[in-house]
Amino acid sequence: MLRLVLFGAMEAWGIGGASVLPRSRKARALLAILAMAPGQPLPRAGLAALLWSGRGEEQRRGSLRQTLHELQDVLAPLGPPLLITTRDTVALRSDVVWTDAIELDRTLSPGATFLNDMGGLDPAFDHWLAEQRRRLHDPGPTAILPSAAIRGARIGVPPIHIQGSGIAPHLSHALAQEISAALARFRWLFVTDSASLAAAAQRYGTEEEAARALGVDLLLTGTLCSDDNRLRFSFRLTDLRETGSTVWAERLERDAADMPGLRDEIASAIVARLDPEILRIETHRAGSGMATSPSCYDLLLRAIVAIHRIDRDSFLAAGIWLREAMALEPNCAAAHAWYAYWHIFLIGQGWADDSPPLIAEAGFHASLAVALDPLDAHALTVAGHVRAFLHHEVEDAAALHDRALALNPNLAMAWVFSGLTQSYLGRHEDALRRLDRYASLAPFHPHAFYFDAARAVPLLYRRRHEEAVEVGRMVTAMRPGFSYPYKTYLAALGHLGMQEEAAEVRAKLRAIEPDFCIEKALRRTPAQRPEDTAHYIEGLRRAGLT
């Protein structure tokens, strides 16, 4: 009843040769996604996230409904409904559809390009499209592209295994798609399409073999069990490059009554923990040895490790690697974003003067990163922190952070930097709520020493000095060479009259940043309310700073 041509420009033909190609590109893309998983119920949430990744959840659902109506209308003349729809899923009937990319497989000519007119539709769809093209070009396990040619870790999430009764079968695919869509918001990750992985598993026998055949580096598998009105989730991350070793595991438990909306909650909890864990794994691999001709990605990872050591020599080497990364790939948004981030530490540590040219350089690279990839939440939140911390353009910074969180609500860094910005604006309770959100999303983040230090700012301004001191003690114990937390720590000690501890903290701060003084503190603070600035400076004076 329906013949689809997906290699080259997309075509759709009905019985008798009548074209039934949808008019809108989004409807065409939706039809193509469904055709590449024939007969499989795909979750509406996952489909919406692939085609409208930059919109809110309600907007995505509404856009999907409209596009489905368009698709149903254009296919209606073919006879019985070809789309099988439920409240949560959509499927394309496999028994009455012929698709060249499914039926012809390897016999296609080398010059044929899968959906060559569909690029640039949406960043998440572009990821899906790139994965399909790679898989169709080299479907066998012996024809995988070298990892050096692929930017970012490649991660796959097969359908979740369900054990026990009372759980809707579609939740298996739906949860995997939800997690995949959430992971795809982290621009440095390359996420393999869940439906493609499931289809490959039938061909190769096991999920692990299928993942290897598709060139996946990291495989996230999950199990859902129900027992006594409780839902128990267990997830395991396997590094397929390390002979299939388990590198991370997580267990979550929820009440079965919370089933509505549970997919979003579980996906958020898992993804927010996975991002820093995968970053840790990848940076460890990069740090264990540098290739003779390192890629932009290799250089980025090595620089990230060096930045967060807070060691001057390593830190300066990180700047060299970032400049080399930008030279290799001038249009790489991540390289420019990390270079702008590097400037924050360079100036914040006192390793360079906060001169206008240096601050302008940080702003240039932060803005360029956003221009190169406006949908990169990491680039947006780094740009926001540069605006707030270095340029003191705090209102503009708040808008950038909110945009970052709209694009990726599971990005821990965005919650931290947006929290700091809210405190600079005098909205300290909102700041603490945002910092609480970071702590719940990523309780064991590898850069916790940096992120946790932010909490002392609203605590100090709220006159919760004892708590600010506790934060200072904890963070400086984790990274004694990090100068920033000593400043709020010292101010809080001054207000508490704890002169002996203040003298010790002042000495440690001056060992890192010898020229830190009241005048420099005044020049550096982004606080917008005079009363907040006055409270900070008065605390430093009482602590013995001149």
Question: Which tens digits make up the pLDDT trace of 409-427?
Answer: 999 999 999 999 999 999 9
Q: Which two tokens stand for residue 8?
A: 């080259």
HSE, side-chain direction, 13 A CA sphere, residue 404? 30
List C-alpha distances in Å: 197 to 240, 246, 366, 471: 14, 19, 36, 44
Question: Quick one: tokens of 226?
Answer: 């129900």
Cα separation of 422 and 464, whole Å? 17
d(C-alpha 9, C-alpha 393), whole Å? 47
Global confidence as pTM: 0.71
Per the prediction, the chain carries an average pLDDT of: 87
Confidence of residue 291 (pLDDT cuts 50, 70, 90): low
Are 275 and 218 within 8 A, CB to CB? no
**Would you say residue 108 has pLDDT above 50?**
no
Picking from 494, 492, 487, the residue whose alpha carbon sits closest to that of residue 522 is: 487
pLDDT at position 451 over 90: yes
* Inter-residue contact 423 to 461 (CB < 8 Å): yes
pLDDT at 16: 62
The CB density around residue 199, as the number of other CB atoms within 10 Å, is: 17
pLDDT at 61: 87
- 366 has pLDDT over 50: yes
For the stretch 298-307, pLDDT in tens is: 899 899 989 9
Taking CB atoms within 8 Å and a gap of at least 24, the contacts of 507-510 are 508/476, 508/480, 509/483
105 pLDDT more than 80: no
Distances (CA, A) of 350 to 355, 497, 512: 11, 27, 8
Q: Is the pLDDT reported for residue 142 higher than 80? A: no
Cα separation, 84 vs 432, in Å, equals 46
Find, among 77, 87, 97, the residue nearest to 37 by Cα. Answer: 97
Query: What mean pLDDT is predicted for residues 240-257?
Result: 83
Confidence band, pLDDT 50/70/90 cuts, at residue 507: very high
Q: Is 396 helix (H, G, I), strand (E, B) or coil?
A: helix
